[in-house]
Amino acid sequence: MDKTIKQSLLVIALAFGSTTCFALDLGGVLDIGNDSAKTAATGSAGGGNAQNANSQLEHCDNPLGTLAIVEDDRSDWYYRLRHEYQLGSTVPVLKLLVQQSNCFVVVDRGRGLNMGLNERALNETGELRKSSKMHKGQIVAADYAMIPSITFSSKDSGGVGAAISHFGGGWLGALAGGLKFKEASTLLTLTDNRSSVQLAAAEGSAKNTDFNLFGGLFTGGTAGGAGGYTKTPEGKVIVGAFTDSYNNMVRAVKNYKTQKVKGGLGAGGNLKVQEE
């Protein structure tokens, strides 16, 4: 029997020993590349200081440069994110993770930048105070661009419910129809803005178990508020996967080694084709 199925059956068996235990314990377990992971992006950041950050988030003693996060809002994964899962942009949570890690200084290339440009345009009209200090040459360049994508996500990617159904009817069979696994796999790429060379790429994943208790098992008020645990937001899983991706990327850049091409980059390369 699959390990995941065994673990799920064990949780179910233990939970039914006490309805109180069931209500408290089956809220879902978020896996961020580690069996014990239960949280993802959390807390806050101010400059190089972070508060209540995920203890599993990678950290750097000193920033490696400035970073802009660029999201392709014309991609298929972005369309699914907004329309199927009803979730917003991934940029805010990625900014939080990056700043908390202290591995890069985040520069805004979205609405924050637009607001700054609007203030400069207003300054050009002469309406701002002379002490406003809105002069040219203050915007910091982005050394690197980090580009996120969701390579796979599923509302129901597990077959545990079908496996449980083989055990027959009763409470186990009733629960089978409501047991789902939600997974997400994400990818982050890091590009040097001056050369356009891709410096790093990292995949990450997360899985969460969702126990849908509306399978006819709890009716008539049994088990109190168990129904409150029937919906685990897909967003938590996606954030977990991006946390895993970012950790993997930081580990890669901490051990970064420059790729050298004989003759220099962009000078023709060393994979030759037949000449005329």
- Within-domain flag for 245: yes
250 and 211 in a common domain: yes
- Within-domain flag for 58: yes
168 and 54 in a common domain: yes
- Within-domain flag for 156: yes
**How many domains are there within the chain?**
2
Using CA atoms, how far residue 143 sits from 63, 222, 243, in Å, is: 12, 58, 22
Task: Specify the pLDDT at position 223.
Answer: 37
69 and 174 in a common domain: yes
Task: Specify the pLDDT at position 11.
Answer: 53
| Burial state string for 220-246 with b = 16 or more CB within 10 A and e = fewer than 16 | eeebeebeebeebebbbbbbbbbbbbb
199 and 181 in a common domain: yes
162 and 240 in a common domain: yes
Q: Which residues contact 189 (CB under 8 A, 6 or more apart)?
A: 146, 147, 198, 200, 201
Task: Specify the pLDDT at position 36.
Answer: 40
Consecutive sets of 10 residues in the chain, 276 residues long: mean pLDDT of each? 57 49 47 44 66 79 96 92 83 90 94 90 90 90 96 61 52 53 88 97 84 41 31 70 93 94 92 85
Q: How far is it, in rounded angstroms, from Cα 217 to Cα 233?
A: 22
Concatenated DSSP letters of 120-143: HHHHHTT-S-GGG---SS-PPP-S
258 Cα distance to chain centroid: 27
pTM for this model (two decimals): 0.70
Q: How far is it, in rounded angstroms, from Cα 157 to Cα 38?
A: 20
187 and 162 in a common domain: yes
- Within-domain flag for 210: yes
The encoded tokens of residue 205 equal: 């994943």
189 and 132 in a common domain: no
38 and 117 in a common domain: no
76 and 38 in a common domain: yes
- Within-domain flag for 275: no
For the chain, what is the largest distance between any 2 Cα atoms, rounded to a whole number of angstroms? 83
- Within-domain flag for 273: no
Q: Which residues contact 163 (CB under 8 A, 6 or more apart)?
A: 1, 2, 5
The encoded tokens of residue 76 equal: 């298929």
74 and 136 in a common domain: no
Task: Specify the pLDDT at position 213.
Answer: 41
72 and 126 in a common domain: no
Task: Specify the pLDDT at position 265.
Answer: 93
- Within-domain flag for 267: no
Domain boundaries, position 117: 108-141
128 and 235 in a common domain: no
